[in-house]
Structure 1
Amino acid sequence: MSQNKQSGNSETILEVKNLQKHFKVGNGVVKALDGVTFSMKKGETLGLVGESGCGKSTTGRTIIRLYEPTGGEVIFKGKKVNNLRGHDLKQFNREMQMIFQDPYASLNPRMTVADIIGEGIDIHNLASGKERLERIYHLLETVGLNREHANRFPHEFSGGQRQRIGIARALAVEPDFIIADEPISALDVSIQAQVVNLLQDLQKERGLTYLFIAHDLSMVKHISDRIGVMYLGNLVELAESIELYNKPLHPYTEALLSAIPIPDPKIERTRERIILEGDVPSPLNPPSGCRFRTRCPKAMPECAIETPVLKEVQPGHFVACHLYK
């Protein structure tokens, strides 16, 4: 696991303040994000985890402006992303890139690999002619593919190879920040570690900052400096990776971590498995107060009345829970 790369560099690259994203569905409103706040240091990896539908991917897509926020602010390198226009927006689109979850759907089947990778190079006028082609070859070799692959089409590759092409496309414009939206969940287990190791190597070489979105908690622990846990549109816990795994504070985090398989059967037999009661509430009609209270084994009367606020209860360890007033 990376060991707090950000500790030697205190420069903040991203601030997310009270971010909200609501979707109209029929006569109702889905509050996919309802006040998410966190910041990131240059060169670190922040893992974002939680069950399906908790708002992880929506967070990433709203930060990069694939979705326009309903409320709140995203500040990247000191500039409000919501206000960017013209040249500043184009520069932002170069500096922040995204690796998508599905390597089969995220690549245009009618374009060759060279055109897919070269598209960003062309948009930002980074190279042309022979230099452009050499840059594409170099990117392919950087992600473990061959220059001979440049003239092939996406359907000629495996899932792992396609994801490597997606990574090369993201790297083509020399970004500083990459949002990796479940980049390994669609891949075979044997390929997942290869892709994660590639991302870590690229981070060391290029000083990249990653927002790594995933539901595989063991993989997130391996790659992340800090981890944020989301539930139904809210961030419920945020801490350094080792701290979160060794000392989870929120009951939801405790339940998630209890479900991770442990290879040592002696430890497995002594560990308590926390089974959450009931289903995840509908985001169309979330519970009052704490959204987790309907499934929480430690719920108190005040949890139905007052919404807990994410606050620092130990150095660098934030939690939104009435147990820690």
Structure 2
Amino acid sequence: MLDLAIIGGGPAGLSAGLYATRGGLKEVVMFEKGMPGGQITSSSELENYPGVAEVKSGFDFMIPWQEQCFRFGLKHEMKEVKRVERKDKHFVVIFNDDSSVEAKSVIVATGGSPKRSGINGEDTYWGKGVSSCATCDGFFYKNKEVAVLGGGDTALEESIHLAKICSKVTLIHRRNEFRASPVTVERLKKESKIEVLTPYEITEICGDNSGVNGLKIKNLENGNQSELSIAGIFVLIGYNINNSVLQQTDGSMLCEVNQYGNAKVNLKMETNVPGLFIAGDLREDSPKQVVCAASDGAIAALSVLEYIEHTK
């Protein structure tokens, strides 16, 4: 039986593996269907991780993490986890081929991913002017014009954030009404550098070898089409939570989750199920930043060490 099963190989999972093995656990395995690294490996530039002054691609940034974590005995198996179940006082990790392994404790760090719009040009320029995180990438557009697609709280809040960095922000939403809270809408209206286009849709994201340079947009009331010159666009239309491993055969969830499917945890990353911990973007109120995911993983691992010691 494993001391700890870690599901997910991004910054949260790797940090958890590092702290768990360095803390003395012998049987620790991280399960990830592909190579470790996580969502950040698709980022073209990362410059806001404390202590790393050099601007690196997400892929290059994550390479030394693997070497460091495996040095202390963390094992990695390329297996896709279907489900985690509670059995007596331990857990059963069930894989897609229906094989399984038992573990005394589990850290789930499967994260999530931004929803994509499917607009023509989005995939072509993803990471080259198309982003889903203003906190991560907004600084690259200092004193430049950008656009934001979306109508929820995140889209409006990120637009307000970008207005403090960029020369102009154009917020594009296909409906006249926003889904965001009234307070956030009022804050948006006070920002002089934000122009709101509703009801509009983006028909194409345009660019060249240097990246995004414009948008083709359409007014949904009169059908008029026009073009918008921008340096970047932030697609903020929602987030997919990878919580399927928590779903049980009867449709219930292994631990308590909120209305969006994020796991509820305390400051120790503990769920309401003893021995089950959640780290990274899967947890409720995650900031969705690499440094925060790494912190979550470390906290979860330290909590596992305490849990195992108390349940001997």
TM over 0.5: no
Name the structure where strand makes up a greater proportion of residues: 2
Name the structure where helix makes up a greater proportion of residues: 1
TM-score (structure 2 length as normaliser): 0.26
